[in-house]
Amino acid sequence: MQHPRRHPAALCLLIAWGAAGASSCACQPAPRTAIPVLHAARAAVAPRIDGLLGDEAWRAATPTDPFVDTLTGAAATPASRARMTWDDDALYVAFEVDDTFLRSTFTRNDDRLWEQDVVELMIDPDGDGAHYVELQVSPTNHVFDSWFDARRVPAPFGHLAWSSGLRSAVSLEGTVNDDDDDAGWHAEMAIPWTAFATVGPGTTRPSPGASWRIALYVLDARAEGQTGVGWSAPLVGDFHVPARFGTVVFD
């Protein structure tokens, strides 16, 4: 997707001027622009796909660093993290999103879910920037899935006829599409390794120790516009930047 309209970045707050004219600043943490690495542990028992994230597999999984502004790598809202685990059958991904305004009015799979609240991942198994998949799940548990031969090829939305076969579930702390304040939502998905067998030249499940390039994003609709955060900031106004995808190592 293209980068959404965002709120202005938080600025350093001037605290005081000293007698000599010195100043100090209460600043956000330094932007995080290095490509992140996540070690995904193999699950002894696959998590139940119910959106609740209470399974032992998730308790044992290492969370990502907090998601950041996709243009700068600076701290940003909504506060979001993800976890991953895997077994012989599937890659399992869970998102945790703090969100006070839950919004998704789409009613069909493969609608333009990215225009409102959604969690999104892009997966490039061999890290060559080609034959990568895009997967999204909305707070109403609608799914968008597609894959691309190369960056945004074919335009505009890739191979939409393809189906990943992913299973997903969500849990909401609030009510979607009303005007009351909400607290957030969780999304959970199981992506079968068989999905990648039909993408480009095809890929099998990873062996222990292998690494794949994976991007993770959250899009947040707000009354005054939309914002987006990511695990690895693409640093440009487009999420389709395979060279900036994070690295996931399958332990």
Tell me, what's the pLDDT at 7? 42
| pLDDT for residue 20 | 37
Is pLDDT above 50 for 204? yes
Which pTM does this prediction carry? 0.89
Q: Supply φ then ψ for residue 59, to 5 degrees.
A: -65, -30
Calculate mean pLDDT across residues 202-224. Answer: 95
| 17 to 11, 13, 25, 61, 159: CA distances (angstroms) | 17, 12, 10, 47, 58
When pLDDT is cut at 50, 70 and 90, the band that residue 24 belongs to is very low
Contact 86, 114 (CB under 8 A): no
245 pLDDT above the threshold of 60: yes
Q: Which CA distances in Å does 190 have to 32, 100, 168? A: 28, 26, 6
- What's the pLDDT score for residue 2? 54
**What's residue 9's pLDDT?**
39
| Contacts of 161 by beta carbon, 8 Å cutoff, 6+ apart | none
The whole-angstrom separation of Cα 18 and Cα 23 is: 6
Residue 224 has pLDDT above 60, yes or no: yes
- Chain centroid offset of residue 121 CA: 5
Fold of 13-250: Immunoglobulin-like (2.60.40)
Question: For residue 17, what pLDDT is reported?
Answer: 32
pLDDT band at residue 225 using 50, 70 and 90 as cut-offs: confident
* Residue 19 banded pLDDT, cuts 50, 70, 90: very low
Handedness of CA 212, 32, 242, 108 (dihedral sign): positive
- Cα 25 from chain centroid? 32
In this structure, of 19-33, 98-112, 132-146, 163-177, the range with the lowest mean pLDDT score is 19-33
Domain ranges of the chain: 13-250
Helix (H, G, I), strand (E, B) or coil at 151: coil
- pLDDT averaged over the chain? 91
- Cα separations in angstroms, 3 against 106, 151, 226: 20, 15, 9
Give the integer Cα–Cα distance in Å for 96 and 45.
Answer: 21
